[in-house]
Structure 1
């Protein structure tokens, strides 16, 4: 089933179409990678490491917002690629994919696309943080 909604806008560039994407359900994760983190780091070490990783990603997200506001699109690729790499390593699939899309869009310099994709990345990150926090609570 197609989960995207397509809308044509009144005065787009020829051949352009606006696509609204809805996020259904929770965060997409690779549980085996997250389980490996807990297996490799017993006790609170895994939680502490994940907190450090998430804090680092939050800082990179802040850098992305600042660079978008400054229209420094080329400088957005590096922090986005870092988020994609780290998120992929710990199994945060949707965060990694959205970050990769930000890095790819930075090469084109389309501020509207970057803003939309960065918004998607931030929502994926927020959902992930919430779900990981809820997961650790008994």
Structure 2
């Protein structure tokens, strides 16, 4: 008889809080909150677009959306999200559809946690 195991994915997101501090220091509280909120909204939209493109097998569109998402994630210090997005791009380039599906699922989980983590730091002040 085969035994079924259930795995729980509890990967912590890597957030560079120093990047958030720099944004607040450079822009001030109101502008920083606006920039960070806008970046997070855009990242969320890119994540949705990546998922839709994956379902439609539009690999060039996925890569373009991932590129845009990486730029935004770097700006607000979401280093794990950047790395996983790059991993997904590598899977697309290698045409490894099985790995692509796994990494896309990981990206979705990580994006959810990462964006929540940035929101939780929203009260960070200098």
Name the residue aligned to 2:43.
Answer: 57
Give the deviation of 1:27 after TM superposition. Answer: 1.9
1:92 aligned to 42, 56, 78, which one? Answer: 78
RMSD of aligned C-alpha atoms?
2.1
Matched, 1:136 2:122: yes
What 5-or-longer segments of structure 1 have no aligned partner? 1-19
Work out the number of aligned pairs and report it.
Answer: 118
Q: CA deviation at 1:112?
A: 2.4
User: Distance between the aligned counterparts of 1:56 and 1:127, measured in 2?
Assistant: 16
**TM-score scaled to structure 2, two decimals?**
0.81
Gap runs ≥5 in structure 2: 1-6
Question: Which structure has the highest strand share of the two?
Answer: 1
Report what 2:107 is aligned to: 121
Q: CA deviation at 1:22?
A: 4.1
Q: Which has the larger share of helix?
A: 2
* Moved beyond 6 Å, runs of 4+: none
Q: What is the CA–CA distance in structure 1 between the aligned matches of 2:119 and 2:19, rounded to whole Å?
A: 17
**Larger RCO (CA within 8 A; separation ≥ 6):** 2
Structure 2 equivalent of residue 80 of structure 1: 66
Which residue is equivalent to 1:45?
31
Q: Distance in 2 between matches of 1:71 and 1:134?
A: 34
